[in-house]
Amino acid sequence: MTGYHCLAIPGPTNMPFEIRQAMELPLEDHRAPDFGEFTLPLLDDLKKIFRTQTGRVFVFPGSGTGGWESAIANTLSEGDRILTSVYGHFSHLWADMCKRFKLNVDIINQNWGKGVPLEKYRELLEKDKNHSIKAVLVCHNETATGVTSDVMGVRHILDELSHPALLLVDGVSSIGSLEFHMDYWGIDVAVSASQKGFMMPTGLAIVGVSKKALSLCDKADLPRCFFDFSEMARMNDDGYFPYTPATNLLRGLRASVDMLLKEGLDNVHKRHFRLAEGVRRAVAAWGLSTCAERPEFSSDTVTAVKVKPGIDANEIIKHAYYDFKVSLGGGLSILNGDVFRIGHLGWTNETMILQALGGVELAMLKSGFLFEPGAGVGAAIQHYSGTKRLVLQAA
């Protein structure tokens, strides 16, 4: 089939030419005397993306999963009690990793469509008079369900109770796309990755770390080597890394950061809301609903669309891919077959979203789901153009 493939998954996302071009360089000497002249400004500018002035940002070869591991391995010890909640596939995986590291994990299970359970967090933290809970985990944007949680609400609870637990946040599908304030929200470790809001290939775990979290590295006794914050900090001070870094990806990251800062983070956030709202209006026009149970939970980077009974979401995904060259995200774990996901983050605009929505409509029709063709695309166009629906009458 001719034409470009439409990538409408929530990561990896579309890669701008500027980033691709920045990475198309001969391999370089990562121990060169002037290498730090490149890396030090990059690491400093990454702090602007995380919105931290007091913390540090480390860049590891890896993915978001490696970032999760770095967050717990550098700050906690075997048997430490942590508090987390599961409301999607990725919050589940991070909790499971904590169990594998032999942490004492308190898990609050939520419906997959809700966000972080603030009142239940408050209840457990308030009962923890001896401060046995050493860390609280939050998945800021649950990519599997298209739900964004209130991280600041968790920080308010910790502060109101004067609880010293660390706040560890998964921002993999939010940092660089959604509003995120590491310092203001009092986040101790913020985990991101290169393949989503940073608009790059998979391959980098990008981790923001507070001074408080760094101070705990010497006390933490969980096994670590590759993801050691202290070793990374020591080498980063001079602009180098403890091992061979992914230099071409770092060059791409430089271009990514430049693009985000040039657009302005507030403008990035507004753009993502605008694009996401068009998708949500399309879903409503199809007579469908999103996995997010309430509007305030709705993510501006990914929408998980619930199909009606008798319709297999995987059939829609297959038709979109094979017949119309559109890649959609599938339902993960317990949502398999019940939802398909539309990613609307990173390097994207209105017409790219309309292309994806058009492909979804073609795939849904071929899968036997009946609706008014063009209804979703039309609703999105009305939103993006700011026009009301026009009713055309025959002359």
Report the alpha-carbon distance of residue 230 to residue 228 in Å, rounded. Answer: 6
Whether the pLDDT of residue 387 is over 70: the answer is: no
Residues 286-300 pLDDT 10s: 999 999 999 999 999
Our CA angle for 200, 202, 208, nearest 5°, is 80
Q: Which amino acid is at 144?
A: A
Residues 225-280 pLDDT 10s: 999 999 999 999 999 999 999 999 999 999 999 999 999 999 999 999 999 999 99
φ, ψ dihedrals at 327, nearest 5° = -95, 120
Residues 113-139 pLDDT 10s: 999 999 999 999 999 999 999 999 999
Per-residue confidence (pLDDT) for residue 297, from 0 to 100: 94
Q: Where does residue 299 rank: exposed (0-12), middle (13-18), buried (19+ CB within 10 A)? A: buried
- The token pair that represents 116 in the structure block: 């972080």
Whether the pLDDT of residue 392 is over 50: the answer is: no
The DSSP H or E segment spanning 366 is: helix 350-366
Per-residue confidence (pLDDT) for residue 1, from 0 to 100: 73
Task: Calculate the CA 274 to chain-centre distance.
Answer: 18
Task: Calculate the CA 298 to chain-centre distance.
Answer: 13
Percent of the chain scoring above 90 in pLDDT: 97
Whether 98 contacts 78, CB under 8 Å: no
The DSSP H or E segment spanning 248 is: helix 247-263
Q: State whether residue 288 is helix, strand or coil.
A: coil
Whether the pLDDT of residue 321 is over 60: the answer is: yes
Rounded to the nearest 5 percent, the helix, strand and coil shares of the chain are 40, 20, 40
Per-residue confidence (pLDDT) for residue 391, from 0 to 100: 47
Q: For residue 27, give the nearest of 251, 255, 198 by alpha carbon.
A: 251
Q: For residue 49, give the nearest of 212, 197, 153 by alpha carbon.
A: 197
Q: For the chain, list the domains and their CATH numbers.
A: 6-12+265-384 (3.90.1150.10), 17-263 (3.40.640.10)
Report the alpha-carbon distance of residue 89 to residue 95 in Å, rounded. Answer: 10
The DSSP H or E segment spanning 147 is: strand 147-148
Whether 135 contacts 74, CB under 8 Å: no
Residues 166-193 pLDDT 10s: 999 999 999 999 999 999 999 999 999 9
Q: Which amino acid is at 21?
A: Q
Whether the pLDDT of residue 95 is over 80: the answer is: yes
The DSSP H or E segment spanning 105 is: strand 104-109
